[in-house]
Amino acid sequence: MKTATLKTELVDWKVLSGQGDRNKSDELMRHVATLFSLTAEHCTDEQLATYDTVMQRLADLVCEETRSFAAKKLSTLGNAPHQIVRRFAFDAIAVANPVLKHSPVLTDQDLIEVSDVKGKDHMVAICFRKQLSCVVTDVLIESEHGSVLIKLAANADAEISPIGMRVLKNAAANDQALAKELSRRDKANGVEDVKAAAPLKRTNDLSVASLWKDIEAQVPGPLYDLSMHSYLARYRFESSLNKIDKLERQGVLDKGILRQYASNDQFADVVCGIARMSGFPHQIVARMMATLHWEQTLCLFKLMGFSDQLVESLLSCGPWLLCLSPNQSMMIVKQYRLLTVEQARSRALLWPQDGLLLD
């Protein structure tokens, strides 16, 4: 197959510029997608880039039916151009469905962003994927759409975190269809007769002030010792505690102060400020803000009423500044923006049973 002549034989640049009629654009898109599906295994990087450019330009010109045709052709190809597949994933569900269900080139971040900005139908399509990480399924579970939860539970290959599973089991107490799928999932994974989780107490019974009292007994003593931590041992938290105590006595300790400290990367001051405002020990807050298990930390921030802007500043401070890329920070802020206070409360109620992820 002469894929090397792609640029001269395949591309009609007049059509790509919008000068041709609609029928020619649709015909060309179908031709390009079909040709790529037949020759993908033999394409060079240069040819892949050309296919990507051509199909992205055509996507602006063709009808939804033609975009759907192209999406189906690309949906199972391991070297399909990422940008056009990602574009299809954010399209109407008729276009997005095949790539969301099958495309191996979509990343976890792509799937999370689709879940953030698109609706229930797109999330249901994601639930059918053969490989789904906990990072994605946690976001799907956050949506609380009944149909999404049922389809996710039905996917025995999808990874579901312990917290996510507990949320599903509690939701199943009032949803027979979900309970049925979870029962099937348990049997498929060799778990017999797993009962639905006991109903949680009302989420409005929780306050940040009382939360630590419920968790404290489960936190091992060595976690209070930061001297052996590779990063946290370098900070002088005692000095920061004295500073924060003074600000509290003056009545000026607030979220504005925290944001100012975070913007200046005054990590110890941030930790001690959050500790004083939440009732959590500063050692535990420090560990929460040094772990990549940021989901619980986001719940604490939401319960404390932190703004999106404050959380964004906190992600650019201390250990997170060193280990999170800008794209990861942006993704976490999006997760925080979608997280509701009720969801944060529901998850925090599980901490006395499930513990904190501090390593």
Q: Write out pLDDT tens, residues 96-121.
A: 999 999 999 998 889 999 998 888 99
What pLDDT sits at residue 12? 56
DSSP string, 294-343: HHHHHHHHHHTT--HHHHHHHTTSTHHHHH--HHHHHHHHHHHHH--HHH
Which is more confident, 21 or 213?
213
Average pLDDT over residues 318-328: 87
Write down the pTM of the prediction: 0.54
At 15-48, the pLDDT tens digits run 555 555 667 889 999 999 999 999 988 899 899 9
**Which segment of 70-79, 204-213, 294-303 scores lowest on mean pLDDT?**
204-213
How far apart, in whole angstroms, are the C-alpha atoms of residue 29 and residue 24?
9
**3-state percent helix, strand, coil for the chain, nearest multiple of 5:** 70, 0, 30
Question: Band of the pLDDT at 203, cuts 50, 70, 90?
Answer: very low
Split at pLDDT 50, 70, 90, the class of 9 is very low
Task: Give the span between the Cα atoms of 189 and 182, in whole angstroms.
Answer: 10
Write out pLDDT tens, residues 245-257. 998 888 888 888 8
The predicted structure's pLDDT at residue 30 = 95
